[in-house]
Chain A
Amino acid sequence: MYLALKEIKHAKLRYSLIIFTIFLIAYLIYFLTGLAYGLANNNRSAIDQWHAKEVIISQYANKNLAASELAVAQLPPVSGDQKDTAQLGQMMGVVSGTGLSKQNTSIFGIAFDTFLKPELQTGRYPQKANEVVVDDGLQGVKLKQQIKLNGHQQQYTIVGITNNHRYNTQPVTYLRLTDFSQLRYGTPQVTRISAFVLKGKAHVKATNQLTKLTISQMINKIPGYGPQVKTFALMISALLVIVAFIVGIFMYIITIEKTAIYGVMRAQGISGMQLVISLMWQSIFLGVIGIGLGLLGNVLTTIGLPAAVPYTNNPELISLFSGVLLIMTVVGALFSIWRILKIDPLDAIGGA
């Protein structure tokens, strides 16, 4: 460690360049992770808060909630606690109103006495017809405001506001099931819904008319969600591999430059292993400082980004990627080990 620190201190510019490179890659990884997680979160945050287990949708929906339509009469009997089951209506929509620009929304029809009811940031749950809860992701919404949905003449009153309740990237508007039925099918009689949601020990036997999906399967079938997550995962994986090569190339060039002095040190009896340990410490120091700066950059980015950008930090993912980055930094330095071990102390004498 002594040698490693002394060398870094002596050649500040050279090692600063390596640290700067690691910082840039670390920062890019954190930034992409923040965006990827933020976008993913925007697709599913309303679903995650259900803490549900499964959904039952129409088998003709191709596992896509938005395309599912079930007749309530079609639902099979439920075993287990009835409180662990809930009916869900879902459709995409457009919110408009006085002082409001047209905005896309995901409309959920629910019974507000089931586990599907959202956590409110302010206000109360709907108690009578045409009262709604909206997410604050809809710009300009406030309590008691009148809104319209999908261009219908019916006015809805906002009685509650949620925070970060989105589905398929759109803020969610929650209606009572009867209002949802009126909006979608033109009748307050709830005869058709989109899905049946189960949690806990509730169980339903799937029939040939129905498809049972886990929540994770349902989210992965949100149009665009899977490819988006895979694209980000691939980009981040590629960056993790690239960092190993960049550090490896830097360290290898530096090692080649130091061949003569390593030869002298070997001649003086300093073992190859001690030089390798020094190299490893160097890579750990460079990695820790570069990653630390990347984390700092990420914190500043989080503070500075506008709220409209879907950027969310996930401590577990950041810790995981930081650890992998550090490992890849050390792996990069491993490329130079064979070179150090191959150095002949005779090089110091100039052949013989």
Chain B
Amino acid sequence: MALMRLEKIIKRFGTGTNQTMALNQIDLTIEAGQFIGLTGPSGSGKTTLLTIMGSLQGPTSGQIFFNDNEISQLNEKQRSKLRFNDFGFILQGANLVPFLTVNEQFQLVDRLRQKEGPQTAEQLLTTLGVWEQRYQYPASLSGGQRQRVAIARALYGQPALIFADEPTASLDSKRALQVAQQLADITKQTGQTIVMVSHDERVLAYTDQQYMMRDGQLT
């Protein structure tokens, strides 16, 4: 059974002569435990596709199935619940809550879920090498440390599907490759699925499968 299935996804922005076709008839099937890379030139629709898969916005037409359940027609409340329980996000910039320490980022999730995740924050932060920084606020972490905490936060609660938008863009080469290796290891160790948008070919080399996007179409 496919973890996620996209069928004839179309996304248009604007109206009339200003209309832009961001995604054009996208069909994609994602299996569990895969590390998928999505690349392509700027404006090709990568991030739009990622946000539609991540239920951050809906498609203009087409269907999306997650665990065989149609999710493209969910309302915002249902999408919010889906994102909280089943999806994780690793974003380009700092996607940590600035007024919470590293440890508190995880406590917040526990409080909202009213239970602890299968992997403890300590396990995830230790694996990603930032356990020592658990009492620090995001502002006092280096860019690499912040990104690794963000990855740990996205993995916390073991969501089935993790969306990563240029997760290594703000890191130096050495750290970028380390992060890519850690993401690849996670899919192998936990069976979680990662869809990553990246321009960096060295980072994409760690993925199991790569898709190129051009003019709103997958090639």
Q: What residues make up the interface of A, taking CB atoms closer than 8 Å to B?
A: 2-3, 6-7, 9-11, 261, 264-272, 274, 345-346, 348-352
Contacts and interface: CB of A to CB of B under 8 A. Distances in A.
Interface of B: 47-48, 50-51, 54, 56-57, 77, 80-85, 87, 89, 91-93, 95-100, 104, 107-108, 111-112, 137, 165
Contact of B99 (A10, A266, A268, A349): A10
A77 to B, nearest CB: 76
29 contacts: A3-B108, A6-B99, A7-B99, A10-B100, A10-B137, A264-B96, A264-B97, A265-B97, A267-B83, A267-B91, A268-B83, A268-B84, A268-B95, A270-B84, A271-B81, A271-B84, A272-B80, A274-B112, A348-B91, A348-B95, A349-B51, A349-B91, A349-B165, A350-B93, A351-B47, A352-B48, A352-B50, A352-B51, A352-B56
A293 B108 CA distance: 30
Contacts of A352: 47-48, 50-51, 56-57
A351 B93 CA distance: 13
A141 B155 CA distance: 83
Question: Taking chain A's interface residues, is the majority helix, strand, or loop, or is none over half, making it mixed?
Answer: helix
Contacts of B93: 350
B104 A346 contact: no
A233 to B, nearest CB: 41
Given A345-B56, A349-B91, A352-B48, A2 B108 contact: yes
Contacts of A2: 107-108, 111
Contacts of A346: 51, 56-57
B81 A269 contact: yes
A264 B91 CA distance: 9
Given A7-B99, A274-B112, A349-B91, 10 more contacts: A3-B97, A3-B108, A10-B99, A11-B99, A261-B98, A264-B91, A268-B84, A349-B165, A350-B93, A352-B51
A269 B57 contact: no
A269 B56 contact: no
A269 B98 CA distance: 17
